């Protein structure tokens, strides 16, 4: 039962991320054909809703067998219409998933603040080098943060996220380079590693909420990286192709290579954990 709750929390964080993209697309005039839960392989269970406002168009909600391996939003014509939008609209669409995760983090902090007994507190990391003490008084701080993030979502995605992407990339790169190779291999992991981590946070509603905040934080942090095809990389590509296309072309290839290496190590770490779990 513990792993069911852990899986639902992970799935919810991913779904919130994709719903953020969906809302931003609709606000910018991009039609969305499908919101899918799971990787789009295998049989589909879904519901299709014809549009009353736009004849001939429809919106589908789909479930696929590999539920815990992600979610996706499928814009009309594979997103070709997005290329005609301004930088501000495209950056808003690419960053809206991270905004969704930030909202989940803020609401999670508010919930923890509401559940904690008077005088109790927990320490949680929200950004590199920034740890926040969440106490019973954090209810209003979390609610206020939610309002601020939603009100300033556009300028945050357009101006703040590109700066944060570079800072986070520098922090992660220096951390990895300063880590012994054996430690890096041992600590690498993906969905299985996160699920195993969730076992430590399954004893109470406060602990499960904390785990949800942590998952959403990791999802936001990963997508902020200026590596294509992550959300941060999509935004950086808009800037790179406009101001320094040659330099961006090189950085894009380096970033993709770096990302693929991380994916390989994460998959290897998950496979090793599964082997240790069953044998």
Range of the domain at 12: 2-30+85-273
Mark residue 251 as left, alpha or beta (left: phi above 0; alpha: psi -120 to 50; beta: remaining): alpha
The H or E element spanning position 237 is: helix 231-243
Task: Tell me the per-residue pLDDT of 223-261, one tens digit each, with 9 for 90 and over.
Answer: 999 998 899 999 999 999 989 989 999 989 988 898 888
| Within a domain: 42 | no
Q: How many domains does the chain have?
A: 1
Residue 191 lies in a domain: yes
Task: With respect to residue 37, please indicate whether it lies within any of the assigned structural domains.
Answer: no
- Angle (deg, nearest 10), helices 161-177 and 205-224: 100
pLDDT in tens, 137-146: 577 888 888 9
**Mean pLDDT per 10-residue interval, the chain, length 279 residues:** 78 92 94 86 85 87 78 84 90 96 91 78 59 66 90 96 91 85 80 76 80 90 90 93 90 88 85 77
Structural domain contains residue 214: yes
Q: How far apart are CA 260 and CA 220, in angstroms?
A: 18
216 lies in a domain? yes
pTM of this prediction?
A: 0.88
Confidence at residue 127, expressed as pLDDT on a 0 to 100 scale: 52
pLDDT value of residue 46: 84
What's the confidence (pLDDT) of residue 156?
96
The per-residue pLDDT for 115 is 82
State the Cα–Cα distance between residues 22 and 197, nearest whole angstrom: 29
């Amino acid at each position: 039962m513990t792993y069911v709750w852990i899986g639902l929390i992970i799935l919810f964080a991913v779904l919130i991320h994709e719903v953020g993209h969906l809302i931003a697309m609709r606000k910018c005039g991009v039609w969305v054909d499908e919101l899918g839960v799971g990787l789009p392989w295998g049989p589909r269970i879904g519901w299709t809703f014809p549009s009353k406002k736009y004849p001939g168009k429809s919106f589908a909600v789909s479930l696929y067998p590999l539920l815990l391996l992600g979610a996706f939003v499928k814009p009309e014509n594979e997103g070709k219409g997005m290329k005609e939008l301004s930088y501000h609209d495209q950056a808003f669409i690419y960053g809206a998933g991270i905004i969704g995760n930030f909202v989940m983090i803020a609401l999670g902090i508010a919930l923890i603040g509401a559940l904690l007994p008077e005088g109790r507190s927990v320490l949680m990391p929200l950004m590199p080098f920034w740890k926040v003490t969440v106490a019973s008084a954090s209810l209003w701080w979390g609610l206020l943060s939610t309002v601020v993030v939603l009100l300033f979502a556009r300028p945050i995605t357009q101006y703040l996220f590109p700066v944060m992407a570079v800072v986070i990339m520098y922090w992660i790169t220096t951390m990895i380079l300063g880590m012994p190779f054996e430690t890096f291999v041992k600590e690498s992991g993906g969905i299985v590693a996160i699920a195993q981590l969730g076992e430590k946070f399954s004893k109470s509603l406060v602990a499960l909420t904390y785990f949800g905040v942590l998952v959403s934080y990791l999802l936001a942090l990963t997508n902020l990286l200026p590596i294509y095809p992550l959300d941060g990389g999509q935004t950086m590509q808009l800037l790179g192709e406009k101001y320094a296309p040659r330099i961006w072309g090189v950085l894009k290839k380096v970033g993709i290579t770096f990302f693929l290496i991380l994916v390989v190590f994460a998959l290897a770490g998950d496979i090793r954990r599964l082997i240790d779990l069953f044998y």
